[in-house]
Structure 1
């Protein structure tokens, strides 16, 4: 019975969150030498000792981890006292640090990457180089689905073939049992249209066809011998994979992260007249602050065009493309 309870408790929290909280507790206890349960005075000293070196967002995460530990163990939460809140506010005032954001992957850069992958893939096909063809077609599908659906890296890695429906020439439907914005794990269905070019639907069907995937993870590892793995890519592998592709396509890969796809789409949508409500609904943001963080400053929700999300993608021409 105990094992079943533990299993459901684990399922009720995000793996990344559990890992981050565990690291935060270890930092407080081991690296800093704090004791648990802690007093609010100890929490304040911990904050002050790291005020100049850690970003306020990191300190807030550490506080959240300490708060969760205390409440789960049945102790009073020492992080909620007025003193702790005031000190944290003072740290933000005296040690302001700009939030680091990934460079958005613009449409022209996406096109450059996809063109390179397609050339390399066709050459690999002509030479009978299946391992290279697999990598090119996988990475193209990952880039295009990641961009047009503004998916996070962990969402891309959790896509399952049996949860995706494709209608050639029309679009695709992707179901995720849970995501970061889906706090109650109700599951959410996303849609992506078929496009004249840079099409996520075609890239997906090409990939699963050449890979022979009928069920299970969509995006998988490929080992050094070119063998397709049964398990999904790890979210942490998406950034080096993306940077490597950008580098080979002639771009500076180090400027980008997996969030570059999300920010790139938000920037593209904004410049093409999407209103704030449509963009938030399509991407899955619950509040305007989340949206503003991802949209490049040059195009903050200009105009009042009331196009729906899917219509905006399929109807709006790309730069330099006639209607």
Structure 2
């Protein structure tokens, strides 16, 4: 990237004012806006939301709690103090790690030295992790017995909402979808074949170029839990109203009328929580993410290889998959079984 006579550097993303070592006038607001544009085009909506919140919190902390320390460029000592304050507030190590990444991103957008790469910040974060631990309590996985319990709780319902919810639960579980991915599916991107349903996912967290990926949803062993059967039933409901294209999942009104437009990711997640609660389960532990966790955990317990699981879930990081698997198989060939208790 080269600077012209006006002092701006021209690159593929446009013109970015550069002053070596210091940010340009009004730089924090400008950079937040620019970074937000980049994030919107290259990252998932939830990532954008988290980044904005993180940057805002850091800026306010520097101005108020730290008595006016500059957030950009931030000194390593400033970032280290901020992390210590976050730990004191009781934030989890995973949240603090995300704040570190957001501060790093902010400085990278300004073409400034990244304070999070220094020993002061790295050692502070390591100390926090050692003291508070890095364990992340995820949502409970929706395993086979659990989803059967949830489905049985509304087995007597046959309206549009019930058909939609069965499709969300079973297709979401079998596909290992992120909740945002479920909300982004389209009717015209689902095709039925002898082996099951082929679903095109136009874009995802691990497909930032929007190249699109296909997932195969196989037939289930039981009609009541067959994801293909219930996906077909829901699409049939959509087609009754002339919907042959558009969002796959939509809101359903009180009297069974299908609303225009698609469902937000939060709304899809609430469907899972609501149906879990109706089955006597804790709605705080069962959300949309429980479906994705259920695929990884259940497939692992059934003997599926990591590659097989990741081919379906589209995870790009094996460490993430292993986090889901920590509780799977705890009672298989357990040493305590040999105690004769």
TM-score (norm: length of structure 1): 0.81
Aligned to 2:81: 45
Instruction: Indicate the residue corresponding to 2:245 in structure 1.
Output: 215
Q: Over residues 66-102 of structure 1, what are the superposed CA-to-partner deviations in whole Å (9 max), with x where a residue is unaligned?
A: 1111111222222211211111111111222531111
Equivalent residues of 2:42, 2:208 under 8 A apart: no
| Aligned with 1:257 (options 261, 269, 287) | 287
Which residue in the other structure is 2:56 paired with? 26
What RMSD over aligned residues (CA atoms) do the two structures have, in Å? Answer: 2.4
Secondary structure in structure 2 of the residue aligned to 1:19: helix
Aligned counterparts of 2:61 and 2:253: Cα–Cα separation in 1: 37
Q: CA 1:8–1:188 in 2, change beyond 3 Å: closer, same or farther?
A: farther
Alignment pair present for 1:36 and 2:71: yes
- The aligned residue for residue 190 of structure 1 is 215
Aligned to 1:136: 162
Aligned equivalents of 1:152, 1:292: Cα separation in 2: 17
SS for the counterpart of 1:211 is: helix
Provide closer, same or farther for how the CA distance between residues 82 and 185 of structure 1 changes in structure 2, counting only shifts above 3 A. Answer: farther
Cα contact 1:117–1:140 (8 A) shared by 2: no
Within the candidate set 187, 211, 229, 1:161 is matched to 187
Query: Which residue, out of 174, 193, 196, partners 2:199?
Result: 174
What TM-score do you get using the length of structure 2 for normalisation? 0.77
Q: Displacement, 1:219?
A: 0.9
Specify which of 196, 199, 210 is matched with residue 226 of structure 2.
199
Deviations 1:110-140 (A, max 9, x none): 112223333211xxxxxxxxxxx11100000
Report the count of equivalent residues: 287
Indicate if the aligned counterparts of 1:165 and 1:173 stay in contact, CA closer than 8 A: yes
- Supply the distance in 2 between the matched residues of 1:252 and 1:95 (Cα, whole angstroms): 26
Query: Does the 8 Å CA contact 1:151/1:262 hold for their aligned counterparts?
Result: yes
Q: Is the CA contact 2:170–2:227 (under 8 Å) kept in the aligned structure 1?
A: yes
Report the CA distance between 1:48 and its aligned residue.
Answer: 1.3
Q: Does 1:150 align with 2:180?
A: no
C-alpha distance in structure 1 between counterparts of 2:282 and 2:115, whole Å: 45
Of residues 102, 105, 129 in structure 2, which corresponds to 1:68? 105
Structure 1 position 32, deviation (Å): 5.2
User: How far apart, CA to CA, are the structure 2 residues paired with 1:240 and 1:32?
Assistant: 36
Whether the 8 Å contact between 2:61 and 2:82 is mirrored in structure 1 is: no
The alpha-carbon deviation at position 21 of structure 1 amounts to: 0.7
Larger radius of gyration: 2
C-alpha distance in 2 between matches for 1:191 and 1:155? 15
Asked if structure 1 preserves the Cα contact closer than 8 Å seen for 2:94 and 2:134, the reply is no
Runs of 4+ in structure 1 over 4 Å off: 4-8
Deviations 1:222-245 (A, max 9, x none): 244543222221112233221111
Which segments of 5 or more consecutive residues in structure 1 lack a partner in the other structure? 122-132, 304-323
Distance 2:125 2:326 in 1: 28
Offset at residue 8 of structure 1 (A): 7.6
Q: 2:27 maps to which residue?
A: none
CA distance in 2 between partners of 1:177 and 1:105 (Å)? 25
Distance 1:275 1:36, change over 3 A: same
